Structure 1
Amino acid sequence: MQINGVSPLAAAHCESRAAIDAPPSFPPSRFTALRRLAGAKPALYARTRNQVDGAVTLLGPYFTHGLITLHEAFEYLRFRHGLTLRDKLPAELAWRSFFHETWQEHGNRIFEPIHEAPLTARHLRALPADIRVGATGVRVIDASIRQLYETGYLHNHQRLWLASYCIHYRKVDWRLAAGWLYGHLLDGDLASNFLSWQWVAGCFSSKPYLFDAENVVRFAPGLASAGTWIDRPRAELEAIARGRDDIGPEPGLHRGVSEPPLLTRPPGHTRPRDFMPLFSGRRVTLVHPWSLTRPRDASIAIGVIHLPFHTQHPWSRQRWDFVMSRMEEICDAVWIGDLRRLGELAVRCERLAARPTLSDGYREAFAALGTTPLAVTPMLPRPPRPGRSFSAYMKQLRRIAPQLFESVASAPRRTKLQHHGDEHNAP
């Protein structure tokens, strides 16, 4: 089986031991995404995925920004490794599919509680300064915030612990904190991020998620936080979570870091000169931040940044750099502004197309422009309703697509993923 006509095992060997041991980096190339997929070790992943230093795929930013699709990854895992939805790695990919199905059903209601949280408490309307600068005195929290600002990445357990600390022990409104984390993550996905924070808060789950120092020792011993507020009996932590008081930072002085600003537009980029005459009568594809792949046909590619969306959901500079460097590489031009002003382009071009997105503002603007939606193969068939939990979602999938839970012969045929012209862009 090959990816882009390149052996996946050969691609996997491009990862040096030093790169694996170093802090994670995310070059914005499809080659990197395919190389990481090829290098995935499903059995090791299943054993170690909950460990902060476990063998995770580091594919999040590439899924979020459309450099690789969930469908491509699942098909590769099925026919290269013989995996099904019973296996851990495909099942974890299915979580992202579940979150997006929930977003499809609820729309912007995902930014409000799906149901009432069981713990009613006072919620701060501002993120405390000690959290913003990573100076809480709780080692696992401070180290995670530093890592977030440095790399744009956090392991799933770090995300859960940070959310639980903010919501239940520091009494921060989950919506406020979720927006802060979303802006700094390279793989910040509105559905996955906001619904995960709801899950921790208990308004998208049967109970709130609490953590303690023992959790940290078990899954991240290097970030052990003995002697801090989280190093208390579970019953005492539950009482704190039910209470109204912010526990505050640990006593003493704690050195923090500067929070990188969240920006409402890509730094250093301005709207280009008028390119409308260049594309008159041509087939044009709009490439938005969640579809960073080359058009498969011979159409002109125009990268688009819809500023009204980013006013509501600003990003860190490193996330903007990831998106814009990729967009400039694969597009013939980049347009920054209000998409609704591109009406002239819609009139002049032969066909205007875009990959569908649920992102508020982009979705409405594409509809107003009359764009032709480009087909995207989903990872999984869509149930009548996604259900109120992941387990309910999986039960529905088992009924409508039982074959996805059944073993297949390992690599009985060659499945080739399209490279879209950049298979040799090794970082």
Structure 2
Amino acid sequence: MYEFPPTPEAAQLRLDYVSPKDYAHSRNALDGAVTHLSPYLTHGFLSVPDVASAMYHQYRVGVQHKLIYELGWREYFQHLHHHLGDGIAQSLHEGVLPDTEYSTELPEDVRHACTRVPVIDTAIRMLYTTGYLHNHARLWVASYIVHLRKVHWRVAADWMYSHLLDGDVASNYLGWQWVAATGSSKPYLFNADTVEKFAPEIWHSRATSIDVSYELMDILARSSATVAQVRKNELAWDEPAVFSEPPADLGFTKPVASDVAGQHVWLVHPWVLADLPKDLPADVVCVAVAFAEHTQAHPWNALRWHFVGERMTALTPHRWFGSADEVLAALAHAQSVQTVAHLCLPDLAAGHVQLRPAPRLFRHLDKPMDSFSKWWVQVNKNVRHLQQLVYPLPARPPAS
């Protein structure tokens, strides 16, 4: 069973165990040598450049290695989020059916993991128990819900996000759109053969609704017909509760101006849980903040709240939960405030917060690329070796 202690030591241990060769050969299998780094990447214990640097120094992998390529997807989704903003929460274009053909309610047998399709029920129970799913399992659940149960991708994406330890808004929304074909050129489909190829026996799903040919799967995806709901039965699991506010035992308070009055402040937020930068003033005050705007729109279950909250507790006794206005009003009493930029942060410009750029491996593109392949070509122009990205040359000063 997956476990993710919310500590830098655990993140580093995961990184130390990554084998790029084994990853490339077995990543598609549910028991393959995947990295299990995603919760630590999402929450800023590690960055994509950190992983790339480790792989270069230890294994001398190239920029076209499968592991670097897959890390590129994370940065590509951030690229789209940067350019499209909240637009990633809407269908980028029409999928195989109009949006109106899909339900806005998640079926009860899906929510309670009692569909009697083993691959779906096993995946959902694992999601609820651990907060983590292998990428293939996520794709299978998404494809089943969207294409066979005809649930709108956004409804299901919001449900899954609430239970993921590694839930990243951009990766989650755009990954579901890739499956739904509202963010790709064709739907992602699978069947019982796919499951048997990549998953252990407990996941196998012969004699169920997915035990059909790919051709029939494609017909079903393009039809308004749905697989019938199974009545809630003895196999049902309770969905973990989700919360828009932190559990009381984590000790969050409203923003407190006296915590920071006259001080240099380093602001920790859920997407930057690494140790404090070494170049901060010796007397810096660390304050951890969870912004109400985000968790009201995207609530978390207790597992994720504790993952974030326990790390914040290890970093600082000052843990705030409040709106952006409340946080900025308290921070106005500080001498200076710094943090790392993230696309899920509210606008902090009014508080004169100094935003350090989020770590990025690949270069920024001024225009959005509508496919990963186009983006990949652009960001790899004139890049022959991963060393060029791990040790980027400083920008040349403008000619006088």
Length-normalised TM-score, structure 1: 0.86
2:254/2:322 contact within 8 Å kept = no
Tell me how far apart the structure 1 counterparts of residues 221 and 149 of structure 2 sit (CA, whole Å).
9
Q: How does 1:84-163 map to 2 (within 5 A)?
A: 84-120=62-98, 122-163=101-142
| SS of equivalent residue, structure 1 residue 399 | coil
Aligned to 1:279: 260
Q: CA RMSD in A?
A: 2.1
1:61/1:187 contact within 8 Å kept = yes
1:228/1:250 contact within 8 Å kept = no
Tell me how far apart the structure 2 counterparts of residues 277 and 250 of structure 1 sit (CA, whole Å).
56
Which residues of structure 1 form unaligned runs of 5+?
1-22, 413-427
1:292-340 Cα offsets, whole Å, 9 max, x none, are 1232213211001111221110001000000000011112400111121
- Residues 254 and 141 of structure 1, relative CA distance in 2, 3 Å threshold: farther
1:82/1:407 contact within 8 Å kept = no
- Residues 337 and 229 of structure 1, relative CA distance in 2, 3 Å threshold: same
| SS of equivalent residue, structure 1 residue 109 | helix
Instruction: Identify the range of structure 1 (324-333 vs 163-172) with the bigger mean alpha-carbon deviation.
Output: 324-333
Tell me how far apart the structure 2 counterparts of residues 252 and 29 of structure 1 sit (CA, whole Å).
39
Deviation at 1:217, TM superposition (A): 0.6
Tell me how far apart the structure 1 counterparts of residues 299 and 244 of structure 2 sit (CA, whole Å).
5
| SS of equivalent residue, structure 1 residue 403 | coil
Deviation at 1:350, TM superposition (A): 1.1
Aligned to 1:32: 10
| SS of equivalent residue, structure 2 residue 363 | coil
Alignment partner for residue 395 of structure 1, among 377, 383, 387? Answer: 377
Deviation at 1:273, TM superposition (A): 7.3
2:342/2:358 contact within 8 Å kept = no
| SS of equivalent residue, structure 1 residue 90 | helix
Deviation at 1:271, TM superposition (A): 4.8
Aligned to 1:190: 169
Aligned to 1:327: 312
Q: Which residue type is aligned with residue 240 of structure 1?
A: L
| SS of equivalent residue, structure 2 residue 305 | helix
Q: Which residue type is aligned with residue 217 of structure 1?
A: E
Q: Between Structure 1 and Structure 2, how many residues are aligned?
A: 384
Q: Which residue type is aligned with residue 228 of structure 1?
A: T
| SS of equivalent residue, structure 1 residue 225 | coil
Aligned to 1:51: 29
Aligned to 1:66: 44
Instruction: Identify the range of structure 1 (195-204 vs 328-337) with the bigger mean alpha-carbon deviation.
Output: 328-337
Length-normalised TM-score, structure 2: 0.91
Quick check: 1:236 aligned with 2:219?
Answer: no
Tell me how far apart the structure 2 counterparts of residues 203 and 62 of structure 1 sit (CA, whole Å).
29
Deviation at 1:140, TM superposition (A): 0.1
Identity rate of aligned residues, in percent?
Answer: 36
Quick check: 1:314 aligned with 2:293?
Answer: no
Aligned to 2:397: none
Alignment partner for residue 247 of structure 1, among 203, 223, 227? Answer: 227
Aligned to 1:374: 356
Q: Which residue type is aligned with residue 327 of structure 1?
A: M
Tell me how far apart the structure 1 counterparts of residues 212 and 254 of structure 2 sit (CA, whole Å).
61
| SS of equivalent residue, structure 1 residue 382 | coil
- Residues 88 and 343 of structure 1, relative CA distance in 2, 3 Å threshold: closer
Alignment partner for residue 201 of structure 1, among 165, 172, 180? Answer: 180
Deviation at 1:197, TM superposition (A): 0.3
1:22-44 Cα offsets, whole Å, 9 max, x none, are x1100000111111111111111
Instruction: Identify the range of structure 1 (147-156 vs 80-89) with the bigger mean alpha-carbon deviation.
Output: 80-89
- Residues 308 and 377 of structure 1, relative CA distance in 2, 3 Å threshold: closer
| SS of equivalent residue, structure 1 residue 310 | helix
- Residues 371 and 40 of structure 1, relative CA distance in 2, 3 Å threshold: same
Q: Which residue type is aligned with residue 194 of structure 2?
A: N
- Residues 405 and 204 of structure 1, relative CA distance in 2, 3 Å threshold: farther
1:283/1:351 contact within 8 Å kept = yes
Aligned to 2:324: 339
1:300/1:332 contact within 8 Å kept = no
Higher relative contact order (CA 8 A, sep 6+): 1
| SS of equivalent residue, structure 1 residue 116 | coil
2:8/2:275 contact within 8 Å kept = no
Tell me how far apart the structure 2 counterparts of residues 292 and 170 of structure 1 sit (CA, whole Å).
38
